[in-house]
Amino acid sequence: MLAWKRGRRVLVCVTGGIAAYKIPDLVSRLRKLDCEVEVVLTEAAEALVSPLALSTLSGRRTWRQGDFLSASLGFEIPHISLAKWAEVVVVAPCTADTAFGIAHGRADSIVEAATLATRAPVVLFPAMNSGMLDNPATQRNLTALRDAGIRVVDPDFGRLACGGEGKGRLPDSDVIMEEIFLALSPHKDMAGKHVLVTAGPTWEFIDPVRFISNPSSGKMGIAMARTAWYRGAEARVVLGPGGGEQRQRGCTHGLEIVNVVSAVQMRDAVMSSLSWSDYVVKAAAVGDYRVKEMASRKIKREGCSEMTVELVQNPDIAAEVGAAKRPGQVIIGFAAETHDAVSHAKEKMRRKNLDAIVVNDVSVPGAGFGCDTNAVRIIFADSREGEAEAEAEAEAKEITASGDKEDVADAVWGTSMVAMVAFSSRAAP
């Protein structure tokens, strides 16, 4: 996990929506990351979630509406002290009334006053009946909040407390956590950039029930996309099949997912997004071959002791992307190798006109498919002409990174060489 996610100061403001029952879980998760958590409740929220439970989980006093101007605690001016203390303010769930109050500068409650007073980023999660949410008055208030620089996260669709279904549910804690991380991210150097990432395996079917594939989980590609999103980019992921863990809402929140199965489908999805992309990250483990002719029915084993399958090459997506690369566009490849990793990776980078390549030896424990960790060497293409200049820069252009896949992904984006390559990227030959 990225180090900056730990030990942060989070002010959680809870208003009077039934979804307040989810907040103890959020507080617990934040505490597991050694975050300091202060919780503030509106008067209505006190009837829906236990202040004692929240205090037990946070290890701190839970601030209530009665503390706002009380004789015993009002002198502490809690709405100001909390507003100054917080690194991020989360309003969850946010009722229609509180959204109105913050949008119009009302400060009748400790939640509204603290939100108005803070200079920290504010992330607001409206949660209410879908009719209330869709009301033009509510939508005007949410628009006003966005215009004021507050991040308003759309509620989920699902079963509501009233018994009906619709948009209005408070997202689960994993989504709220991702939004907190987005607000706290120390780097926004990719704001306005479009990042296209391929992730996961491809399936090349032999018959309707069998396919050729590999053990890729898609974790590294998702990590590349998510860390780019933290840095301010819009991220689109062309995601191969399988990898159920990577398809959970928390893993893919904030990312645009394009689902594909085969290498041909992945190639088409990538090429159709190429003009949109400032960065293309080829992290998928694409099958090199597919069956020349897929059987229309399940192949039976009876009476067949041996079987020969004729294969043909799949499109070389990275090579097509490299050939079509426009000036200023950055192409980052990945290479999973078992021997002579660096030399093979450098040859792949040269042959496919890549700007950088991330290579790992999948035979090394903790660096193979399906792992939560990785150990890689990041190699950058020469950006200057001339043998002497290239030799002088050789060391700077090879960087090692290891640890959690999210840490490795952030190391790729954080390398200053990526920015240099972005300005000096070679045009396709």
Q: Which amino acid is at 60?
A: R
Phi, psi (5° rounding) for residue 28?
A: -60, -45
Based on the residue annotation, tell me whether 94 is a catalytic residue of this protein.
no
* Confidence (pLDDT) at 386: 42
User: How does DSSP classify residue 258?
Assistant: E
257's tokens: 């997912």
Q: Which amino acid is at 236?
A: R
DSSP string, 201-242: B--EEEETTEEE-----SHHHHHHHHHHHHTT-EEEEEE-S-
Could you identify the residue written with the tokens 């059987």? 295
Of the candidates 340, 325, 333, the one whose C-alpha atom is nearest the C-alpha of residue 379 is 333
List pLDDT tens digits, range 400-426: 999 999 999 999 999 854 545 444 444
* CB-based burial, 171-188: b 16+ in 10 Å, e otherwise: bbbebbbbbbbbbbbeee
* Confidence (pLDDT) at 243: 67
Of the candidates 63, 142, 128, 136, the one whose C-alpha atom is nearest the C-alpha of residue 92 is 128
Of the candidates 216, 316, 210, the one whose C-alpha atom is nearest the C-alpha of residue 266 is 316
Global pTM value: 0.92
Of the candidates 160, 108, 93, 171, the one whose C-alpha atom is nearest the C-alpha of residue 131 is 160
Q: What's the CA gap between 190 and 118, in Å, rounded? A: 26
Q: What's the CA gap between 62 and 43, in Å, rounded? A: 12
* Confidence (pLDDT) at 70: 82
The distance from CA 361 to its chain's CA centroid, rounded to whole angstroms, is 25
- The one catalytic residue in 13, 35, 94, 162 is 162
- Contact present, 121 and 88 (Cβ < 8 Å): yes
Q: Is 423 helix (H, G, I), strand (E, B) or coil?
A: helix
Low-confidence residues in the chain, pLDDT < 70:
74, 243-250, 383-396, 416-429
* Confidence (pLDDT) at 426: 46
List pLDDT tens digits, range 1-33: 999 999 999 999 999 999 999 999 999 999 999
Measured N-to-C along each axis, helices 263-273 and 317-324 cross at an angle, to the nearest 10 degrees, of: 20
Cis peptide before 155 (omega within 30 of 0): no
What do you get for the CA distance between the two ends of the chain, in Å?
Answer: 40
Q: Which helix (H) or strand (E) holds 90?
A: strand 88-94
* Confidence (pLDDT) at 368: 80
- Contact present, 353 and 322 (Cβ < 8 Å): yes
- Contact present, 291 and 205 (Cβ < 8 Å): yes
74's tokens: 């009002």
